[in-house]
Structure 1
Amino acid sequence: HVADPDGLKRYNSAAFVRPDLGYVGRFDKMHRVVFGEYVPLRSVLPFLQSLTPYNSAGIDAGTSPKIFDSGGYRYAPLICFEDTIPRLVRQIVNFEPQDAEKPDVLVNLTNDSWFHGSSELDQHLITAAFRCVETRRPMVRAVNGGISAVIDGDGAILEPEKLIDRDAAERAEMGLLPRTSMRDETTGEFHRQFNGVLIRTVPLDPRTSLYVRWGDWFGNLCLLACGLIVVAGTVLRLRGRSKAKTPAHPALA
C-alpha cells in the first residue's frame, strides 16, 4: 500500500535491494490480470466483483517501467504474466531513463503455484522464451511453485551450472540421489515444486531486433493487407451484381 494524493494505492510490486545500499526502489506491476487483480466495468456491472478474490479496492496499475543497476549491469523486472505480453516487454526494453541505459537482463518474478503443477507452468516458461527471442535479451525467472530458469537471447532454456537440491536429505532416505538437472531424467519434463537453488552465469546479448526497433510492423502490415483484400473483394462482388442486374440492349432490326 502506498499513500498517494488521490488516496491509498495498492500495488503488486517488486522491491530492489542491494547489499551495499539496501532498499533502492520498487517496480509496480503495469499489466494487471483481468478479474484476478482488477474488475473491468465494475462501476457499471457491480456483480462482476464476485469473480475476483480481491476486495472492492482491487490492485492499481503501475505507470512506468523501472531499470535497476547493480555491479554495472541493468535489470528490468517483470511481474507474473507480464513476461507473456510482447508490446509491454518491448516497451520495457526500450525504456531509457535519464540516468540509465536500456536493460541488460529481464527478471521475471511470478507465483505459478495457483496452477498446481499443471501444463500452465511449461506454457508460461515457453512463452517467456519467446519474449527473449523478440527482444534479444536474456531473462532470469524466479517462480514460486513453478519452473525457475535462465533463458538466453536465442530463447534457449539453459541448464544450471550448479543445482542445489534442498530436498537431498529426504531423497537420500528414500534411496534417491540428489537432482542435478532441471529436467526429470526419465520423462524429460521440467521438475515441479522443486525446492532448490539454481546457479547460472547469465549470458548477455549485445544484439537488438527488428521487433525492438519497429514493433508489430509485420503484423500490422498483414492486417492492412487483409483489410485491403476484404475491401477489394467486396467492391468486385458489388460490381459483378450491378452488371448482372443491368438489362441488355434490344437488338436492332
Structure 2
Amino acid sequence: MDAEESAAQESLLVGRLRGTVDGVIIASPRSTGAALSEAARGLPSVLVNRVLKQLPSVVCDNTAALFDAGDHLYALGHRTIALLAGPSASWAAARRSQAIRRWAGGSRVRLLELGPFRSTFKGGMQAGAALLGTDATAAFAFDDLMACGVIAELTAAGVSVPAQRSLVGCDDVLLAQTITPSLSTVSAPMDDLGKMAVQTLIRQIEAPAGEPVHAKLPGVFVARGSTAPAPKR
C-alpha cells in the first residue's frame, strides 16, 4: 500500500490492515513517532529506513559511504559542494544530511545547503535549478531519483555533468546505472535489507513480547560517470 509520502495516510493504511494481516513492514514512513507507535500498537511491525525505540527496525547506515563519497569529491578538487536536502519529514533525509555536514565539518570545503526538495524527478529538477544559482562544482542529492531530475535540469540549461558539475546520489536504484552519465551513488544492500526485514517481522509474530531489534547494514559508495575533476576556474 502506498501512502504517497502522506503522514496522515500512513496511519490510516496501517489501521486498515489491522485484522487482515499477521504483520506489516512499514517503509520510509513520514509520520511522527507517536502516530506510528499508536497505529502499530498490537500489530507486529517492522520499520525500514527509520528508527523508533518502540518498534523493530532495519536500516542502511550510509554514514561511512557518504564520507567516502565526500572524500572522492575532495580528491577530484571540489571545494564548494552543495547539499540538496530531501523532504523535511523524512528520517533518512535528516540522517543523510547530518552525515554530510559531519564530513564537511572535518574537511576543507564550503558546504551550501539547498532545499528541502521532494524525492521525485520534479523535485530534482527544482534542486537542479537551485544548484545553477550557486558556485558549487559538485552536489549530493538526497536520492537517485532526485539526482536524475538534477541532471535533466542541468542538461536543459546547457550545463554538463560531470564536466561542469559533479553529482552524487544515494540508494543505487536501477535508474542510477542506466542513466547517462551513470550515477555515482551510495549502494544499499536492498536484497539483504528486505530479507532482514521479513525475518525480523516473523520473529515479532512468533515472539511478540521480545525486545525490539534494531538492525543496521552498511552502504557502499560506488563511483561512476557523474563525478569528475572540478572544472578549472
- Fold conserved between structures, TM > 0.5: no
Rg larger in 1 or in 2?
1
**Structure with a larger share of its residues in helix:** 2
The structure carrying a bigger strand percent of its residues is 1
Higher RCO (CA 8 Å, separation ≥ 6 residues): 2
